[in-house]
């Protein structure tokens, strides 16, 4: 089992000194990865599911990870997740390639299709066909990263006769992680993903999701060049050694633990150290 930390671009950790302190502590403590979520805007008033309030601060994921890349050496940097349909895929490909270069090849590109209609409407992207749009955007980004003469001609993206350097350090491209709980997300993970990410799952829910991934694996063919599917989960509740063992028995490879929300940095650091002592040090 590997362990990551989620939420280092939110709340008090949106401040540079606090984020730096937690990132450095996590790297020293043996966590393998730092993960950031994304909301460009939030609905006001609050719209369920209530993961965040309208006034909760959250930094842009690529900006936050670029900042942390300069303050760490080896810890992986994951987007968990970028809402792909509401991004321009060519601009995002440039941003993520730049991050991979500046971090020395530490990017994990996690993506999802989105669930907040007010957010996507405000950005100007319809909820309808967002899954199809995400698939096409990902294919376009991969063309930019991997093709000698990048070209893509689709419904939502159309380009040719261009180049985009630098390419990512990781070849042929950074790991792709698909987030989401739906059968469509499972299909997307099997066909296009090096990994799958489930957020805020109980043990029972994680078991259901892993079963869904196994079912999808019997229906769909893995894309060329993909690695063995790595399963990452952010547990809903606090995790001790026994719970971590049970997640591992389900087939989970990485637990991405939620950093304490709304807590001062000293409490977040205490969580990092106590969790490391409980879960990582004995290994």
DSSP assignment of 47-62: -SS-SS-TT--B--HH
Give the pLDDT of residue 47.
78
Mean pLDDT for 28-56 is 91
- Give the contacts of 3 (CB within 8 A, at least 6 positions apart): 30, 31, 32, 254, 255, 256, 257, 275, 279, 280
Dihedral through CA 159, CA 163, CA 164, CA 170, nearest 10?
100
> What are 89-123's pLDDT values in tens digits?
999 999 999 999 999 999 999 999 999 999 999 99
In this prediction, residue 73 carries a pLDDT of 98
Q: Give the tokens for residue 172.
A: 């042929």
* pLDDT over 90 at 51, yes or no: no
Compute the average pLDDT of residues 205-210.
98
All structural domains of the chain: 2-280 (3.20.20.30)
Q: Which pairing describes strands 107-112 and 152-153: parallel, antiparallel, or unpaired?
A: unpaired
> Regarding beta strands 107-112 and 76-79, do their DSSP bridges make them parallel or antiparallel, or are they unpaired?
parallel
pLDDT at 15 over 50: yes
Which tens digit of pLDDT belongs to each residue from 239-270? 999 999 999 999 999 999 999 998 999 999 99
255, 259, 260, 262: CA torsion to nearest 10: -140
Per-residue pLDDT tens over the stretch 115-156: 999 999 999 999 999 999 999 999 999 999 999 999 999 999
Rounded distance between C-alpha atoms, residue 179 and residue 189, angstroms: 8
- What pTM was computed for the model? 0.97
Residues in the chain, total: 283
Tell me how far apart the alpha carbons of residues 145 and 175 are, in angstroms, rounded to a whole number.
12
How far, in Å, CA of 64 to CA of 102, rounded? 13
pLDDT the model gives residue 132: 97
Per-residue tokens: 58: 């959250």
pLDDT at residue 282 is higher than 70: no
């Amino acid at each position: 089992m590997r362990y990551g930390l989620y939420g280092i671009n939110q709340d008090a950790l949106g401040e540079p000194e606090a984020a730096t302190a937690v990132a450095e502590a996590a790297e020293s403590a043996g966590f393998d990865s730092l993960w950031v979520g994304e909301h460009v805007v939030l609905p006001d008033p609050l719209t369920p599911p209530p993961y965040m309030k309208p006034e909760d601060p959250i930094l842009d994921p690529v900006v936050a990870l670029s900042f942390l890349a300069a303050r760490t050496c080896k810890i992986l940097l994951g987007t968990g997740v970028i809402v792909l349909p509401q991004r321009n895929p060519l601009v995002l490909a440039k941003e993520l390639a730049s991050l991979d270069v500046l971090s020395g090849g530490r990017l994990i590109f996690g993506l999802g299709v989105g669930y907040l209609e007010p957010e996507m409407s405000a950005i100007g992207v319809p909820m309808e066909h967002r899954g199809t749009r995400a698939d096409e955007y990902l294919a376009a980004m991969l063309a930019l990263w991997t093709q000698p003469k990048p070209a893509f001609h689709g419904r939502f993206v159309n380009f040719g006769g261009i180049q985009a350097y630098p390419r990512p350090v990781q070849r042929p491209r950074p790991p792709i992680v698909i987030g989401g709980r739906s059968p469509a997300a499972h299909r997307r993970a099997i066909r296009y993903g090096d990994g799958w990410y489930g957020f805020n799952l109980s043990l029972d829910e994680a078991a259901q999701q892993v079963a869904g991934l196994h079912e999808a694996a019997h229906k769909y063919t893995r894309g060329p060049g993909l690695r063995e599917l790595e399963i990452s989960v952010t547990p809903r509740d606090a995790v001790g050694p026994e719970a971590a063992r049970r997640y591992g028995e389900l087939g989970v490879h990485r637990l991405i633990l939620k950093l304490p929300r709304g807590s001062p940095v000293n409490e977040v650091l205490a969580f990092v150290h106590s969790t490391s002592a409980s879960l990582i040090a004995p290994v």
